[in-house]
Amino acid sequence: MVGAETIGQYNGLIADIRVRHAAAIAGRKVAAVQLDASKNAVHVRTLGTSYGQVMPGQVLAEIGGLAVPADILSESGEVGIEQVGDLLDDVEGFLILDFENGAVEAFADNPLWNRLPAVAAGHTHVLKGNSTFGSLYTALYLAGGWDEVYKTLA
């Protein structure tokens, strides 16, 4: 059971992020992604895809961030590497969910991924571990990750 103290900590962090990063939150699109080296694809974890109500999208919504709309993505949110420029070029910051399976390292030299303006500018933050689903503790962890992404946009 989650205690009132943890709930308060989460609510406080969300409020703090909203205040400190108000300008970036208001006008800059960000995305939580999982890189998939086996498919040479990027999975955008945004609300409205068939993948479900994933935590990265939920936390971003609570922050008030501007997300990639699900209707421009495939049903599951998967984007083939050859389409990342067309679909994700306007994303200004990426929260990279690192499942620690080597995918982040595999994409380090991928020219199409590295050509994205946010990636080229270093507007990314790698969050280790599977934080796609979870509870309030996962939400706290993700909020910290989104905070780091917004810091890169300052």
Residue type, 130: N
Are 116 and 91 in contact by the 8 Å Cβ rule? The answer is yes
The count of structural domains within the chain is: 1
Per-residue pLDDT of the chain in tens (154 residues, 90 and over written 9):
568 898 999 999 999 999 999 999 998 999 999 999 999 999 999 988 886 568 999 999 999 999 999 999 999 999 999 999 999 999 999 999 999 999 999 999 999 999 999 999 999 999 999 888 888 899 999 999 999 999 999 8
For residue 35, what are the β-bridge partners? 42
Whole-number pLDDT of residue 3:
83
Give me the helix-helix angle, 55-63 and 4-20, nearest 10°: 60
CA atoms 41, 47, 49, 50: torsion sign = positive
Per-residue model confidence as pLDDT tens digits over 119-148: 999 999 999 998 888 888 999 999 999 999
Question: Residue 58 is part of which domain span?
Answer: 4-152
3-state secondary structure of 41: strand
Residue 66: CB atoms within 10 A of its CB come to 17
Which CATH number characterizes residue 22's domain? 3.40.50.1980
